[in-house]
């Protein structure tokens, strides 16, 4: 089981007071706690999580690629143990063999060697049982031999699972010609097609789904954040900031220029092939329409057809050649609109940020208002950061306390920084600052802890 780490839970699970104190004071503290022979806990302040049961054993036995240990007390992990050891063996063998590497033979070789090694371990343990050092050693050796016998039995009967490729969706039930732009009107409720589409999106980015809307895409791909950084560099070197901003917006506007009435290779659309995808998303955002990737399937999927007896039948569905570039272009089109029309960004983009950061049941506005009305005025009435360039560790302290109290979702510093920067204008906090440890940080954590408790 994996749970959110709280001090109360550490105490309830029996962690000693010295360790509990370390969790309160050290942000990077981690500990493997053996409560009993059969109870194991892994607690980490870095992730703010407590692992127990098989999840704790998984970390205990498989800490890294270079530390793979036999799961002595959790034999259900044997298949994963075997897989990890084999992966390391095959990697080394491939490096050694080079061009003459044979993966199938190498897999068989590893299994044979593992059977031979395990059988030898069993024979050696039998000898130790006959002449044990003491009674305790005999008990331990007997238990070890029994586990090795279980592993040997598993190895002897294990066979490589057959890998079958997912079949292309066979959409033979649609017996009429379907214009591409009307694609989703016909196929959007087809489970087989949508499952195929979802799999393609997940391969591109695990956070994408059919319900991902176009306002979320620029955040998922960090597009506006990158553009803000580029603009900041331009403004720093520009003799006139107003002209530099206008020029930058002009460059962005050029990304959505495309003549829909002309072909891709027409002179008017020269070097603008990806603009046609950007333009679709741009126009939806400008109109304020909430469109999801599910509804944009016609831009990403293509179909092959046959014509038995004169009627067109869709035989199979596949993605277009460069799905990554298409989805990224759609994201850029939405980003252009959000970047140029800030009121759209505040209306829709902010909603996604709140969902991404704050857990259900917690009002983000209530907590951000604490930074406006507190003893330390950190945000102005517009929600903009005003506390000072060298005092951003207060934001680190604030979000640490929110996460520690289970108010926001856990994100790594590299993921959290861009989310906070888009939530709080004029902040531009770095992931490094979010990992800082200063005396001011600890002082502000105590302050925010008491402040949050007033809500």
pLDDT tens for the chain, 455 residues long, are: 778 888 888 888 888 889 999 998 888 898 888 877 668 888 998 888 888 888 888 888 887 777 888 988 888 888 888 988 998 899 899 988 888 889 889 999 999 999 999 999 888 888 888 777 777 777 878 888 899 999 999 998 888 776 544 444 333 333 233 334 444 455 566 677 778 788 888 888 888 888 888 888 888 888 877 787 787 787 877 788 888 888 888 888 899 898 888 888 888 888 888 898 899 988 888 877 778 888 887 777 765 544 444 444 445 556 666 788 889 999 999 888 877 775 444 445 566 667 778 888 888 888 999 998 767 889 998 888 998 888 888 999 999 999 988 999 888 887 788 788 878 888 888 888 888 776 667 788 888 888 888 88
Residue 18, CB-side half-sphere exposure with 13 Å CA sphere:
1
Residue spans of the domains in the chain: they are 2-64, 78-157, 180-346, 358-452
| Cβ neighbours for 66, distance < 8 A, ≥ 6 positions apart | none
Pairing of strands 30-36, 2-4: unpaired
A 10 A CB-CB count for 214 gives 26
Does an H or E element contain 149, and which? helix 135-157
The b-or-e profile of 300-321 (16+ CB within 10 A means b, else e) is: bbebeeeeeeeeebbebbebee
Q: What are phi and psi of 2, to 5 degrees?
A: -120, 125
Pair type for strands 2-4 and 39-44: unpaired
In what helix (H) or strand (E) does residue 314 lie, and over which residues does it extend?
strand 313-319
**How close are the terminal C-alpha atoms of the chain, in Å?**
30
The DSSP string of 50-110 is: EEETHHHHHHHHEEETTEE---TT-GGGHHHHHHHHHHHHHHHHHHHHGGG--HHHHHHHH
């Amino acid at each position: 089981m994996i749970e959110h780490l709280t001090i109360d839970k550490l105490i309830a699970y029996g962690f000693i007071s010295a360790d509990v104190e370390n969790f309160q004071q050290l942000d990077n503290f981690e500990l493997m706690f053996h409560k009993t022979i059969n109870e194991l806990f892994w607690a980490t302040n870095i992730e703010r999580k407590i692992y127990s049961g098989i999840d704790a054993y998984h970390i205990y036995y498989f800490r890294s690629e270079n530390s793979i240990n036999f799961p002595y007390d959790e034999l259900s992990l044997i298949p994963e143990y075997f897989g990890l050891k084999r992966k390391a063996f095959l990697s080394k063998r491939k490096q050694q063999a080079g061009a003459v590497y044979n993966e199938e033979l190498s897999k068989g070789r590893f299994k044979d060697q593992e059977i031979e090694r395990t059988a030898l371990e069993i024979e050696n343990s039998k000898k130790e049982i006959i002449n044990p050092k003491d009674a305790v050693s005999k008990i331990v050796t007997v238990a070890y031999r029994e586990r090795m016998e279980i592993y040997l039995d598993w190895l002897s009967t294990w066979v490589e699972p057959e890998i079958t490729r997912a079949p292309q969706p066979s959409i033979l039930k649609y017996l009429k010609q379907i214009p591409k732009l009307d694609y989703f009107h016909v196929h959007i409720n087809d489970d087989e097609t949508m499952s195929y589409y979802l799999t393609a999106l997940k391969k591109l980015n695990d956070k994408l789904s059919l319900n991902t809307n176009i306002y979320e895409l620029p955040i998922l791909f960090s597009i506006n954040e990158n553009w803000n950084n580029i603009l900041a560099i331009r403004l720093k070197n520009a003799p006139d900031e107003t002209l530099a901003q206008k020029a930058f917006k002009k460059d962005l506007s050029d990304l959505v220029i495309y003549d829909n009435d002309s072909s891709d290779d027409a002179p008017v659309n020269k070097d603008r092939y990806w603009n046609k995808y950007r333009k679709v998303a741009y126009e939806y955002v400008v109109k304020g329409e909430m469109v999801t990737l599910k509804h944009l399937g016609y831009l990403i999927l293509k179909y092959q057809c046959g014509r038995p007896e004169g009627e067109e039948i869709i035989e199979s569905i596949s993605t277009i050649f460069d799905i990554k570039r298409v989805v990224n272009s759609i994201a850029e089109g939405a980003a252009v609109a959000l970047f140029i029309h800030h009121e759209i960004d505040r209306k829709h983009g902010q909603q996604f940020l709140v969902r991404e950061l704050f857990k259900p049941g917690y009002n983000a506005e209530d907590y951000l208002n604490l930074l406006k009305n507190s003893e330390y005025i950190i945000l102005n009435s517009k929600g903009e950061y005003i506390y000072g360039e060298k005092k951003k560790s207060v934001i680190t302290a604030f979000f640490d306390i929110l996460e520690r109290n289970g108010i926001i979702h856990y994100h790594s510093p590299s993921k959290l920084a861009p989310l906070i920067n888009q939530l709080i204008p004029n902040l531009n906090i770095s992931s490094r600052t979010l990992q800082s440890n200063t005396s001011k940080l600890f002082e502000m954590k105590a302050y925010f802890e008491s402040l949050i408790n007033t809500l």
